[in-house]
């Protein structure tokens, strides 16, 4: 499998214009995930085709959504998805990779250096709840992205405190989105969020959706609650 060709083919079909060199950068990240991602504990996937579909191409689903020059947080970045693929195809954006597990933080720092992204990608080794209460990050970001982190009621409590008014959460979701939206209505009202749209996209043989939540008013100071509470007791 020629990974660069597969990436360029998918991007062409999706109408996504890739900056010069970005396909090669994505292929290098793909190779790192295939070769050492499983043993480093950052992915359970081992087949190159699965890694390409689930971790590389799927991460690009929100690439065209991000505002020009956006400051973006990738919450629960784990192995670096979707944040690192987005950084490679959106060189105008600055991205925070938020991750609390030490082994994953070490991996992220290595990949940021290997991919030449240190000038505009920062690894933040903290829990999402703690970042959301930090004045350095609270209510200043243009966008938040998250993939396979939590259900929507929990995710909006992590994300909305970080966003400025008018900023947006781009949540990568699958076929159960309608149920998640219904369960998140109270949380959205409480936290100052509004469901803006759902943007479907296709990754090879899979249908996916980016759920877009806009922050329309300030999040109360009491949110996010202390570490662990949003997951144990969703709003």
Per residue in 112-130, pLDDT (tens digit) is 999 999 999 999 999 999 9
pLDDT surpasses 90 at 178? no
In a domain, 12, yes or no: no
Considering its fold, how many domains does the chain have in total?
A: 1
Give the span between the Cα atoms of 151 and 149, in whole angstroms: 7
Is position 50 within any domain?
A: no
Residues, the chain = 235
pLDDT recorded at residue 206:
87
In a domain, 111, yes or no: yes
Query: How many CB atoms neighbour CB 48 within 10 A?
Result: 16
In a domain, 21, yes or no: no
- Give the C-alpha separation, 63 to 192, whole Å: 24
Q: What is the CATH number of the domain that holds 119?
A: 3.40.50.150
pLDDT > 90 fraction of the chain, expressed in percent and rounded: 94
pLDDT score at 204: 87
Picking from 162, 212, 204, 147, the residue whose alpha carbon sits closest to that of residue 184 is 212
In a domain, 2, yes or no: no
Residue 96 lies in a domain: yes
pLDDT tens per residue across span 28-41: 999 999 999 999 99
**Within a domain: residue 222?**
yes
Q: For the whole prediction, is pTM greater than 0.75?
A: yes
Q: Range of 209's domain? A: 64-232
- At 22, the pLDDT band (50, 70, 90 cuts) reads very high
| Span 47-66, pLDDT tens digits | 999 999 999 999 999 999 99
């Amino acid at each position: 499998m020629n990974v660069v060709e597969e990436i360029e083919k998918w991007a062409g079909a999706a109408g996504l214009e890739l900056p010069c060199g970005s396909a090669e950068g994505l292929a290098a990240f793909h190779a790192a995930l295939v070769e050492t991602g499983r043993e480093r504990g950052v992915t359970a996937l081992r087949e190159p085709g699965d890694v390409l579909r689930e971790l590389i191409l799927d991460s690009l689903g929100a690439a065209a959504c991000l505002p020009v020059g956006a400051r973006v947080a990738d919450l629960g970045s784990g192995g670096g998805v979707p944040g690192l693929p987005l950084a490679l195809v959106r060189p105008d954006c600055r991205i925070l990779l938020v991750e609390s597990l030490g082994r994953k933080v070490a991996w992220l720092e290595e990949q940021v250096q290997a991919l030449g992204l240190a000038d505009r990608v920062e690894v933040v080794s903290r829990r999402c709840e703690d970042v959301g209460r930090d004045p350095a990050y609270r209510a200043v970001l243009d966008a938040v992205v998250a993939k396979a982190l939590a259900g929507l009621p929990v995710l909006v409590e992590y994300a909305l405190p970080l966003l400025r008014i008018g900023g947006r959460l781009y949540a990568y979701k699958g076929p159960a989105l309608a149920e998640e939206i219904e369960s998140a209505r109270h949380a959205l009202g409480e936290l100052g969020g509004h469901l803006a749209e759902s943007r479907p996209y296709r990754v090879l043989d899979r249908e996916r959706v980016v759920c877009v939540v806009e922050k329309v008013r300030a999040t109360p100071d009491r949110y996010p609650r202390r570490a662990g509470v949003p997951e144990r007791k969703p709003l």
